[in-house]
């Protein structure tokens, strides 16, 4: 999963959406931001990786999903608690 769906890409995208002016969001960005705010992870492309074989597919998916969601939630919480904003990050 690390090669097909790098967790840092998802985290960067979440950070990008958090700091982008909502009036400049595209339709898809608005939808994903709304899903993130509702803690809906269905925007993450689970079950779309070629790296997962049919053997033990559900167990591997559950493990990858748990790890990905845990990491995203942890880093998103750190971003929120640190008060990091676009203007601070660009300084």
Summarised one tens digit per residue, pLDDT across range 43-53 is 887 655 555 55
Does 2 map to a domain? no
Torsion sign, CA atoms 84, 85, 90, 91? negative
Q: Please, are residues 79 and 17 in contact by the beta-carbon 8 Å criterion?
A: no
Mean pLDDT, to the nearest integer, of 85-90?
50
Q: Please, are residues 29 and 20 in contact by the beta-carbon 8 Å criterion?
A: yes
Residue 59's domain spans which residues? 7-90
pLDDT band (50, 70, 90) for residue 88: low
Does 36 map to a domain? yes
pLDDT of 61 over the 90 cut: no
- Residue 41 backbone dihedrals phi, psi, to 5 degrees: -95, 10
Can you give the pTM of this predicted structure?
A: 0.49
First-last CA distance in the chain: 34
Provide the domain count of the chain. 1
pLDDT of 11 over the 70 cut: yes
């Amino acid at each position: 999963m690390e090669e097909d769906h790098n967790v840092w890409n998802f985290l960067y995208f979440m950070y990008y959406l958090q700091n982008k002016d909502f009036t400049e969001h595209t339709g898809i960005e608005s939808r994903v931001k709304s899903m993130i705010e509702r803690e809906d992870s269905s925007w993450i492309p689970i079950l779309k990786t070629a790296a997962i074989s049919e053997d033990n597919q559900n167990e591997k998916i559950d493990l990858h999903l748990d790890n990905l969601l845990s990491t995203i939630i942890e880093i998103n919480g750190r971003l929120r608690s640190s008060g990091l904003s676009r203007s601070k990050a660009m300084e």
